[in-house]
Copies of this chain bind each other. A is one copy, B any other.
Amino acid sequence: MEQRVGVWLIGARGGVATTLIAGTFAIRKGLAGTHGVITETAGFRDLRLTPFGGLVFGGHDVRRVSLRESAAQIYRENGTIRHEILTAIGDDLDRADRDVRPGVLFRSGRAIESLDGVDTSLRAADPAAAVTRLADDIANFKKAHGLVHVVVVNLASTEPALAPDPEHVSAGGIERLLARKEGAPLIASTLYALAAARAGCAYINFTPSPGAFLPGVVEIMGRAGIPFFGSDGKTGETLVKSALAPLFKYRNLRVLSWQGYNLLGDRDGQVLADAENKSTKVASKDNLLHEFLGYPLHSRVEIDYVPSLNDFKTAWDFIHFQGFLDVKMSMQFTWQGCDSILAAPLVLDLVRMAALSLERGEAGPLTHLAIFFKNPLGAPGHDLHAQFHRLLGYVQSHSS
């Protein structure tokens, strides 16, 4: 029998997680294609990846809602999980829902805590105890389903910024902070990352949340010998930026201004409407241009909550540039993509690639996965093409 791999999702009933779980069930039943899943393209054919049928889902969430209800809401608001699919996979969703455990709130901030359905009783008084509970949940899941590997993916809402603390920089410091209880300058995403390390799982930070890769946490992950990577999935406007910025560089066209306006209406948009949380995200989105182009330019990334859009993000970018004879010209684009639909298949790819790393005994940052992230950990550079070839190189050298 085939080895089965666990997919443990932080934010398991959110839009991306629900879409990816529902999508996997739909693919298994032949009700949907595999567009968007990179590991389904020809280049990955000879890699020994877990088939869709071998993935088992579970996770943590702080909201009281079932997966089936979450999927039904997505159908109503976005239509992306079609009605026939909803009907066909309802029982599968209910079964997966039994493996979703209560998550944890810790400095999660007003925006997240006031989301519809959030169980504020999950505020942790003792972070160390919370890590233990979270790690036990994962271990129990692994055992109950007889899983060979588990990949933990953080898909939860963007947290507010965490003020720097001298103790953040070492494993010892993190452990001392854990012991400090309620006042500790830690944040929920740190606790989840530590739980993954404790449970010996791979860890993928698909959000921009700052707590997962504090230097001390990275040190702990290193000691645990787990593979890990992030942060912040590159799904939409930033993806387009990373494809277009090279054009201006290759042609020696000087970018004068690059303004980006992101309109989104989902839970993500609602959380990012809060200035605390937005700052975390904007910083993550605005890095690319200056680093890639190598000169200062006027740029702005704005994120606006437009509820009526639901999950269909609309982004408008305006690029003002200068060419020969110093003539100014411009380009503008509008991106209309569904965030969950763009993100979900990437998570499937990351899970499969991380499971492969677990199987091969690889540990540390999975830098060959840089193409998936806005801020690839320890893999500087934002050249989409270079990132693609880096991934292809890994794939070719590991194909059987």
Chain A interface (Cβ within 8 Å of chain B)? 19, 22-23, 26, 32-38, 40-41, 79-83, 85, 239-240, 243-244, 246-247, 250-254, 256-257, 259, 261, 263, 298, 300, 302, 304, 306-309, 314, 316, 318, 320, 322-338, 341-342, 344-346, 371, 383-386, 388-389
Residues of B within 8 Å of A327, CB to CB, are: 80, 338, 341
* Contact present for B314 and A316 (CB under 8 Å): no
Main SS of chain A's interface residues?
Answer: mixed
* Contact present for A239 and B247 (CB under 8 Å): yes
Residues of B within 8 Å of A325, CB to CB, are: 19, 22-23, 26, 32, 80-82, 85, 341, 344
* Contact present for A246 and B247 (CB under 8 Å): no
Q: Could you say how many copies of this chain the assembly holds?
A: 4
* Contact present for B316 and A342 (CB under 8 Å): no
Residues of B within 8 Å of A252, CB to CB, are: 34-38, 40-41, 345
* Contact present for A261 and B316 (CB under 8 Å): yes
CB of A71 to closest CB in B, whole Å: 11
> Which 3 pairs from chain A and chain B are nearest by CB?
A385-B385, A256-B308, A83-B83
Cβ 8 A contact of A345, one of B22, B34, B37, B323: B323
Q: In the bound complex, how far is the Cα of B388 from the Cα of A333, in angstroms?
A: 23
Q: In the bound complex, how far is the Cα of B379 from the Cα of A376, in angstroms?
A: 33
Residues of B within 8 Å of A33, CB to CB, are: 322, 326
